[in-house]
Amino acid sequence: MHYVKFIAVGFMLFFSVFIYAQKDYKFIPKNQKLLSDKQVKTMQIMITPDILLFNEQGKVLPSSQLELMTNPGYKPLFYANSEGKIKSVIFQKKNNNPAFVEKNPEAQFTKGEKALDFIVTDLNGNKIKLSELKGKVVVLNFWFTKCGPCVQEIPRLNELVNEYKNKDVVFLAITFNKKEIIENFLFDTPFNYTIAANANHVINTYGVQSYPTSIVINKKGEIVLKEIGYRTNIKSVLSKAIKNQLK
């Protein structure tokens, strides 16, 4: 079993009742409605990967910020869809300052750090060795089929692949899922990265515990970017890093 940091967390939440002037958070979809304190107190709240966490400015927070649920300095506001399923959570700070976004230690790397070599096999049986891709920019994406945030960013990643078609860029998706699981997944959800299934050894080599994780490697085989967790602007973030390395 794989330990991942976004794994669904179930717990009961008990809150003191505070009176707040409710703001109109325009980044929340119109089909989602704010749950009252009374509703929340009678529910068992399950935070699953498809639920987005926000600060009051609309910035998507990483899953590590779930700890704010028990922080007395914040009041979580729960928004549910028409079926009553929670889809968004805003962490409202009592003094109205933005929620602090802590830098995930997994995103740290040193300038000039060499990407660790590996060999994987894609879905067509082709062997890929990272060190043999020097001279190209390599974009790695660590994901799996049951990871809600991973699946949510796939359309943006596909756009990225199309943007750099015929350029010296290799897009490689790494997963621990078996080949059969990936092939079934692709029937309904196209993913245009080259996919390496059953690649546990690469995940362990890079110490990946949070999903999704993206890593950009320059033409010299050095890591130039690590992005941990889901973000709505992942395409522009990765594209900027890629363009800088293609100059």
Q: Are 139 and 218 in contact (CB under 8 A)?
A: no
Cα–Cα distance, 72 to 56 (Å, whole number): 16
Report how far Cα 35 is from the mean position of its chain's Cα atoms: 25
Please tell me the predicted confidence (pLDDT) of residue 119.
Answer: 96
Report the pLDDT value the prediction gives residue 40, as an integer from 0 to 100. 77
What is the structure's pLDDT at 10? 35
Parts of the chain with a pLDDT under 70: 1-23, 44-46, 64, 67, 70, 95-106
At 12 the pLDDT is: 36
pLDDT tens, position by position, 31-65: 999 998 888 777 766 677 788 988 888 888 887 67
- pTM for the full model? 0.62
Alpha helices in the chain (DSSP H): 37-41, 148-163, 179-188, 200-206, 234-246
- According to the model, what pLDDT value does residue 61 have? 86
With beta carbons less than 8 A apart as the criterion, state whether 137 and 246 touch: yes
The model's pLDDT over 217-242, given as tens digits with 9 standing for 90+, comes to 999 999 999 998 888 789 999 999 99
Burial tier of 162 (Cβ tally within 10 Å: 0-12, 13-18, 19+) = exposed
Dihedral angle, C-alpha 175, 181, 185, 191, nearest 10 °: 30
Amino acid at 204: N
